[in-house]
Amino acid sequence: MKYPNLIPGGNFYNPDYLADNLQNVGTNVQFNPSAYVQVNPFKGFTLKSQAGMEFYDFISSSKQLPSYLASPNNGNASESFSRSTTKTITNTAEYGFKLRDRNSFTFLAGQEFIYNNSTSFSGSSSGQTDDRLNLISAGPTNFTASSGRSEYAFASYFGRMNYNLDSKYFLDLSLRNDQSSRFGRNLRSANFYSVGAMWRAKNENFLQDVKWINDLTVKGSIGTSGNSSIGNYQSLATVGTNLYASTPGWGIGSAGNPELSWETQRQINLGIQATLFNRLNLDVEYFERVTSNMLISVPYPTTTGFSAITSNVGSLKNTGFNANINYDFIKKKSSNLNVYANLGYVEQEVTELFQGKQFWIIPNTYVCWAVGQPVSYFSPIWAGVNPANGDATWYTPNPDPAKITETTKSNTTSVFNSTGLQQNTGIQRFAPFNGGFGFSGRLHQFSVSADFSFSEGKYMINNDRFFFENPGQFPGFNQSSNVLNYWKKPGDVAVFPRNGVQFTQFDSRLIEDASFIRLKALTFAYDFSTSMLKQTKVLSAAKFYVTMRNIWTLTNYTGPDPEVDANLTTGANPNTSQVSVGLNLQF
């Protein structure tokens, strides 16, 4: 069946037509060799030198054919090429030995160097008039060309000591120095450490005869680490070329920040692992993670010539726990049944910002960092439709927008202002509870397994509703049936305001509870018996299986997919439901 090129109603083009006329092709060539040399000069001592490379060439081609109905006889073409080479060299020396058979030591010292070099160039043109002549050279107008190059390097020196006494008491110590070319000349180097201890309690004499405890381990650690995930030259004040009145000139490219250095993270972990009754496995861990000197793009008045400068500011604290449990209900030779569950819980708190600010609304995200609170959604808060006159109303903010407003009828307005009404909704940006659960079982040759995932307390901005619940603003869009519930006469309690007033603004109505439970995978399988396979005299094993993915979801979220990891989603392609049937044969 041939579908029309143009879909009636909103001037939308058929996806097949767009794919034919707006062509984008990418080709990647990758080469990742690695090699190492290892020698053992004497017992327990190992020298190892390892080198590796990650290399790729990527070519991208984009064309808009001149026959494209939205811009006839005005095609365009662009080509881009990028090459990246990352080289890594690692050298280590390790020595392990025992003292009096009770004390085991392992010492390691090492060095690592990483260097990356990236180059790129691109060109484009427009004005092509024939689909058969669609190269850049065939475009008579808007010729452009650009090129770029960047480099970065990391150098690390590290050491580690592992010690255990009688395979019961363990101690790990590590220290490293990392240097990054991305930071200020005098601040490129930073030291990080970790200390970890573990007690295998089950190996103690007083627990040897406790049969229902099969394993018991207590562990704890504290350590620091660094983050340098920023652009390569943000610590440097840079200049670039431009054209003014067709004359080449120089201009300031970036302000730079010579005080830029490592973002640091300190984490404490306390945990316990246990196996009980030879059936129940537990792994519970508490953590506290504090991130400080965060690498944040700090906003500045545009009158300075720059809208933002990357700086080391602010701190964020996360505390919580992770728990994993699985239990063997049935453990027999011919059958088994195991169930499992895992849960992660996180409490988040912004502990410091910058420039004395108590809150910072990240532009164009409706997300805010407020001191003393978790990262939260900030937006105008919907107060409903006035039943007397059909006006849309919103709550006016608290004098301190970071504080949650007491929502009473006395503090509402019918005049919408996306900036002036922006305030703390009290809704967390990140879900505090995430996890999964499932089971696997077998009865003779038949087996089944199911894996579920869930998120509780998750919220997302459903941007699709802004288009599907606004018939006056987007008449070409299909509208939700909800728009029929609008105010018509005094006394109506309606979802949307009266006709002539914009139905939906960008406010708290679009922030939806995206908590969900989803069946991620369900598998049924049958293993052919050994006696049956022997008759073939060819097969040693055979399994037939059916696997279904994403076939069931429970959620109140009205968008396509609650599992999208974003603060705002629009036009997102959902996880697809899949069914696969297979046969594994071993000869």
pLDDT in tens, 22-65: 999 999 999 999 999 999 999 999 999 999 999 999 999 999 99
Closest CA to 192 of 265, 88, 288, 297: 265
∠ CA 325-328-333, rounded to 5°: 150
Residue 1's pLDDT is what?
55
Residue 9's pLDDT is what?
58
Rounded Cα gap, residues 187 and 192, in angstroms: 14
Q: Which residues contact 546 (CB under 8 A, 6 or more apart)?
A: 523, 524, 525, 579, 580, 581
Residue 241's pLDDT is what?
81
Q: Which residues contact 459 (CB under 8 A, 6 or more apart)?
A: 377, 427, 428, 429, 431, 511, 512, 513, 514
Structure tokens at 158: 């590290």
Contact 552, 453 (CB under 8 A): no
- β-strand pairing of 392-395 with 381-385: antiparallel
Contact 62, 24 (CB under 8 A): yes
Rounded Cα gap, residues 46 and 26, in angstroms: 44
Contact 258, 234 (CB under 8 A): no
Query: Residue 16: enclosing H or E segment and its boundaries?
Result: helix 15-21
Rounded Cα gap, residues 319 and 291, in angstroms: 11
Rounded Cα gap, residues 300 and 292, in angstroms: 21
Residue 573's pLDDT is what?
84
Give residue 151's Cα distance to chain centre. Answer: 25
Exposure on the CB side of residue 190, measured as CA atoms within 13 A: 22
Helix (H, G, I), strand (E, B) or coil at 15: helix
pTM for this structure?
0.86
Q: Is 255 left (phi over 0), alpha (psi -120 to 50) or beta?
A: alpha
Structure tokens at 171: 């101690």
Scored b (16 or more CB within 10 A) or e, 332-353 reads eeeeebbeebbbbbbebbbeeb
Residue 552's pLDDT is what?
96
**Cβ-based neighbour number of residue 262 at 10 Å:** 24
∠ CA 132-134-140, rounded to 5°: 120
Sequential pLDDT tens for the chain (587 residues): 566 777 665 667 888 888 889 999 999 999 999 999 999 999 999 999 999 999 999 999 999 999 998 889 999 999 999 999 999 999 999 999 999 889 999 999 999 999 999 999 999 999 999 999 989 999 999 999 999 999 999 999 999 999 999 999 999 999 999 999 999 988 999 999 999 999 999 999 999 889 999 999 999 999 999 999 998 999 998 888 877 777 888 888 888 899 999 999 999 999 999 999 999 999 999 999 999 999 999 998 888 888 899 999 999 999 999 999 999 999 888 899 999 999 999 999 999 999 989 999 988 889 999 999 999 999 999 999 999 999 999 999 988 888 887 766 678 999 999 989 999 999 999 999 999 999 999 999 999 999 999 999 999 999 999 999 999 998 878 899 999 999 999 999 999 999 999 999 999 999 999 999 999 999 999 988 877 877 777 778 888 999 999 999 999 999 999 999 999 998 888 889 999 999 988 88
